[in-house]
Amino acid sequence: MPSKDIVDTAVSAGSFKTLTAALKAAGLVETLKGKGPFTVFAPNDEAFAKLPEGTVKSLLKPENKQKLTAILTYHVVAGNVKAADVIKLSSVKTLNGQSVMIKIVGGKVLINGSTVVKADIAATNGTIHVIDTVLMPK
């Protein structure tokens, strides 16, 4: 049984420093510490490093909070969606109102083209699936 919520699980993993900083800047920490359940497609630090230089720094500025929130909520789904469920879906609606597309290619699960590199990390209020690219809403 998991003993930590989604945020604390991400913090303790050590590979989500940028994500956790972004969650704080967007004011979403309390939401993702809430009851849930939530499913988070969590970009690791390497995923954020792929963004054009200066993007993360710009998004973390207070004047960009709305844009940052839209990006981060595009990575969160209401409900506890495990890998076994994800592979049966072709899309899923995120908390920002837009859907992400799900495909299976060569045995790998792709979320809008981002590869799930680790699935089913359990938290007390949901599940984390690690992805290798930051998802950008339209």
Domain ranges of the chain: 6-131
Number of Cβ atoms within 10 Å of the Cβ of 3? 9
The domain 6-131: what is its CATH number?
2.30.180.10
Number of Cβ atoms within 10 Å of the Cβ of 53? 7
- Residue 12's pLDDT is 95
Q: What percent of the chain has pLDDT over 70?
A: 100
Asked whether 117 and 131 are in contact (CB, 8 A), the reply is yes
**Rounded mean pLDDT, 92-119:** 96
16-38 residue pLDDT tens: 999 999 999 999 999 999 999 99
User: CA-based Rg of the chain, rounded to a whole angstrom?
Assistant: 14
Residue 1 has pLDDT above 90, yes or no: no
Confidence grade of residue 78 (pLDDT, cut at 50, 70, 90):
very high
